[in-house]
Structure 1
Amino acid sequence: MPMTLLHTYLQAHAQGIALVEAASQLEEKDLTALGADPTTTKNLLALAKIYFGDTSFSQYQTQCIGTSHNLTTLLAIERYVSRIKTTRNQWVLRVKLCQTPEQHIAHVAKQYMPSTTPKEGIRIRRRDNGAPMTVSLTGASTILSDFVSALDADQPIASLNALLSGNAVRPQTQTHIIIPLDKLDKVTQGDNDVIVHTSHGATMTGAEFVQRTLEDEGFATLVSPVQGAINLYRTRRFASTKQRIMLQAQSHSCAWPGCRKPIDKCQPHHIVAWKYGGNTNIDNLVPLCPYHNGINDDYAAAHNSISTRRGWVTKYKGKPTWSPPQTITRN
């Protein structure tokens, strides 16, 4: 392939640290003389100070210099790092992100970001010429969850009118009590029920345990710290949506990392897909929203292989966990 201007630019851009090191030998006027615009000059000098300037965290700095990230990714890393308060913690995150594949940086960085509690309030955006306006509400989940549940996703404005006129029915909440088995000596799975062996020597079925413990309390789920959800009971009768309700005991939202879609908007997802022989058992089900259910790499999950797409959700010790995709380098 003949060398072109674009080829030269892309090759240089890909060598992020090499560009930064070269910039560390120059001043602002030198970069300007070479044709750099003010923004590029500012970015290069800022990176040069971080990666090649004086610091008391030289060991961290040395680890970062070994990164293969391009210039754009180095700048993205600094946007995440700037949100961390202490200098030491900034270097810890910088090292972590420099060693993280570019496609996973956002996910990894999010785990280090300080948690913030949004302020309650309302934001209104009005538009000219009678165009639709936008209203954004921030408030207690106990209040807004009822509000959202009363809206019809297919007819949002009509359902809002019904709500404002007082014709909407307030959503009913159902008590769902989770019974941890930490203090019980042994839990075994019988043919039709869970067998509970208590610490004082008694043996009873899970249904008997729930009957004794939670008379008329609604739904109850027995949960083992190791095995996860085991079985679901209702003191008067079994629920027809048994497995869906059991999933609520494991997660209150979509199991995909960073997704906050509530559990009642999710679908029971087969970890090992049905078409690959997966069973519709609770240990093979996790709640995923329709979008993440669609992008989950079912083939990799079923064959326990490397995913090159979007990764896949599995379970570890009864809890949903995400297996990220990996980049395969072909020579």
Structure 2
Amino acid sequence: MGSTQKNVMAALTAALLWATAFVAPAAVKPASELLLVTGRYSLFGLCGLYVLIRSRKQLKLMPLRRILFGLYIGFVGYFVFYICVSYSATAGSGFITAVVVGASPITIALAGNFAEKRMSWSQLIAPVVLILAGINLLSVTDFVQGRSEDAGNSILGIALALGAMLTWSYFVVRNAQSQRTWETKPDPTIWAALVAMGAGGASMVLLPYAIASTPEETFSPYPLFKIITWCVFLGVIGSWWGTYIWVKAAQGIPVPLVGPLLATETIFGAILSLPVEQRTPTWTEIAGALCILAGISVYMVFDVRNVRSKEALSAPDESDADAVPATTRASR
């Protein structure tokens, strides 16, 4: 039990580190969103490059198509995803971005259900309806308050947040599918390094342009210190170490807890965004967030029930004197 508690605390720590990505775009102003993304993932990619150089013998044993797929999935799931998150957070709100991206368990479930049926489609109706209602409430916030000049930015922020949600869902589903279908599983550290290089490669190419297109005031001492600090924190601590902590912790976390623990990332992100934006959430934002959280909660309840039902069916026959009760364990 103590080991499980430690793993849960480690997973929450990783989620909190990841959540800082939602507040960074507003915190580094006047630096551009592109500079934050390219700076962060250039450092993330360098961490991956260091690991790949040290593990070059094992890397040579991997088929080229798998190496290319690892780079591709890193580019889409990290670089493109955070481009959407960064511009969404500054066009709309870090709070709204975090809440909308937090609905990704449902899009992952929908995509995963097409690939391999995890639950009945009828069980997904209530979560999907609640989340759609929540997104609609979040998107009309500025219309309800009569701020037409902010409405366009709010809609753009919602659209980019939806893009981030779909991009992340694609990354999770494609990555999981590839790992399950490959006969020889890649070393987790090498795979993480390939993903990091996929995000970092694109970032390094665009970094000179990001620097050139950044407002001059960014290079004053204090703004420059802020952007460098945030890039180092997000790239090395948030991305690399956060991922490492999560991978290690997830090995000792029961399967039903994985989903709720991942969901805490966006909850942390929404909470952290409000002080940075120096405001409190509106009532429509609160209602929208609660609808989305309710949708995720309903989905998690069904998911836990299904996992337990499958474990009960696969448990040893009770009539067997030597039967051992089935235990919930992390199998990912």
Instruction: Sort the TM-score into its range (normalised by shorter chain).
Output: under 0.3
Higher Rg of the two aligned structures = 1
Higher relative contact order (CA 8 A, sep 6+): 2
Identify, as 1 or 2, the structure richer in strand.
1
Identify, as 1 or 2, the structure richer in helix.
2
